[in-house]
A and B are shown apart, each in its own frame.
Chain A
Amino acid sequence: MSDQDTVIDDLPPGTVVAIPADGRPLFRKLIGRDPAKNDFKGDQARGRPFVPEDEAWIEHTGLSLYDDAMLAARIGVKYPAYVAEVRLPEGAGCSFAKTAGPGHHTIWGRPDDLFDGVVALYRLEAPSLALERVA
């Protein structure tokens, strides 16, 4: 175990380490078939309820993206699923953190900036579960 691992182990549960966006690709499940700015709003911006005993405010203000397109498409289990590949914009004040389970990240940023970072669109069809790039 390295010194860095030891430091991380000492952090209390629920600690979130946010990192400035660095242009890396992450994947966002879309509500419809075409990306829209509305797809890049977090729970707080959508007016979804905040139940404080269950959720930290920092998580309520962010939105979920995944490091794998198939994972983003399958997690909600509703087909056809559309997923946008987003390059998190550098220099726009966006941040991200590794949170929750494998492949899941929380992102903070203006919906306009995240929407502008869309570089590709994928569709997952059932029952084949074949992921196809459509744009």
Chain B
Amino acid sequence: MSYYALYRSTADVVGHHDDRASAARQAVRIALAAPDLSLDVGIVEIDDEGGGPVGSFVAASDLLAAEDAAAMEVIAASKAGEDFPDVPELTVDLEARVAAGGGNPESTAARMAEAKEAVAGLEAVLNQLRVALVAGPESNRPSS
């Protein structure tokens, strides 16, 4: 028996492996690089004689959810910076960047002011809706 790492939707094979662990590592690496593909990329065991699937398709997301040993290896390596060194940080502390002299403080302040103004406008609309709700349908019923 051997294993494919592949995309389920198109049956595109991305790797043919002698063992499950290396197929799982490949699928999980792809899922980490493109999380939106984590349900589509996965592994399947194949019959080396006929090429057909022996077991069920296992998505990379399932490998991660099950804390599969090979998947956890990839996660550990990724956290250690061994893989995907070019992946940027997913979150940016904007205030820290501005405080550190990065970015453009003036434009950031202007955008924050615009955002606060928009929030204030939404709160005003929300208050109007609350008033209407408290008054009930009677207040909106046309007089006859």
Contact = CB atoms under 8 A, between A and B. Distances in A.
Q: Is the interface of A mostly helix, strand, loop or mixed?
A: loop
25 contacts: A28-B11, A43-B7, A43-B12, A48-B30, A48-B34, A49-B30, A49-B34, A49-B37, A51-B29, A63-B10, A63-B12, A66-B11, A70-B52, A75-B4, A75-B6, A76-B6, A76-B7, A76-B44, A99-B13, A100-B16, A101-B13, A101-B48, A102-B49, A103-B51, A104-B16
Given A66-B51, A101-B2, A102-B49, A42 B12 contact: yes
Contact of B10 (A39, A68, A70, A77): A39
A59 interface: yes
Most buried by B among A31, A49, A63: A49
B139 interface: no
A39 to B, nearest CB: 7
A37 interface: no
Contacts of A64: 6, 10-13
B50 A48 contact: no
Contacts of B26: 51, 54-55
Interface size class of A (residues with CB under 8 A): 20 to 34
A112 B66 CA distance: 41
A29 interface: yes
Interface size class of B (residues with CB under 8 A): 20 to 34
B9 A76 contact: yes
Contact of A48 (B15, B37, B44): B37
B21 interface: no
Given A48-B7, A71-B51, A76-B8, A101 B16 contact: yes
B41 to A, nearest CB: 8
Contacts of B122: none
Contacts of A31: 9-10
A72 interface: yes
A77 B7 contact: no
